[in-house]
Amino acid sequence: MFRTRGSKTEKTERETPREVELSEDEWRERLSPERYRVLRHAGTEPAFSGEYVNCHLDGTYACAACGAELFSSDAKFDSGSGWPSFTEPAVANAVELHSDKSFGMVRTEVLCRACGSHLGHVFDDGPRPTGQRYCINSLSLTIDEAQS
């Protein structure tokens, strides 16, 4: 189900609170200014600027805000978009999707379910089998490298 971000009813619509709930000040303390802007204020890093765009390491990408596991490197592909791209989340309910009508576009925003932080957007022009392209900011992620 889709919910519009920022609607006055959003908080009361949630059946359960976020696993991680911090105040604005606490988020600001915890995160670098760049990560704070993207994660907590739905910012977008410039294309091709992020550290994971061309990353081919094996591992799991976790939320840079709360550490929740979000995407596996197995689902990462080179989209040419300039942002890390994945065909699916590591666990379906690790993310939450919201309709985003900002900037005169209708897009689907991807949030971390555990903490509500902004990750990026998902588009339906991805490769098979899912056909999905999760277009995620590097600044929203940290990789936990697989031990070999």
Select the residue interacting with Fe ion from 65, 111, 136, 139 (CB under 5 A): 65
Q: Among residues 23 and 148, whose Cβ is nearest to Fe ion?
A: 23
CA atoms within 13 A on the CB side of 97: 15
Which residues are known catalytic residues? 135
Q: Among residues 53 and 111, whose Cβ is nearest to Fe ion?
A: 111
Residue 114, interface with Fe ion (CB under 5 A)? yes
Residue 63, interface with Fe ion (CB under 5 A)? yes
Residue 68, interface with Fe ion (CB under 5 A)? yes
Select the residue interacting with Fe ion from 62, 115, 119, 139 (CB under 5 A): 115
Strands 69-72 and 85-86: unpaired
CA angle 38, 88, 40 (to 5 degrees): 15
Residues 6+ apart with CB under 8 A from 63: 69, 70, 112, 114, 115, 117, 119, 140, 141, 142
Q: Choose among 20, 32, 52, 39: nearest CA to 145.
A: 52
Smallest gap from Cβ 30 to Fe ion, in A, equals 11
Q: Among residues 93 and 147, whose Cβ is nearest to Fe ion?
A: 93
Residue numbers at the binding site for Fe ion (CB under 5 A):
63, 65-66, 68, 112, 114-115, 117
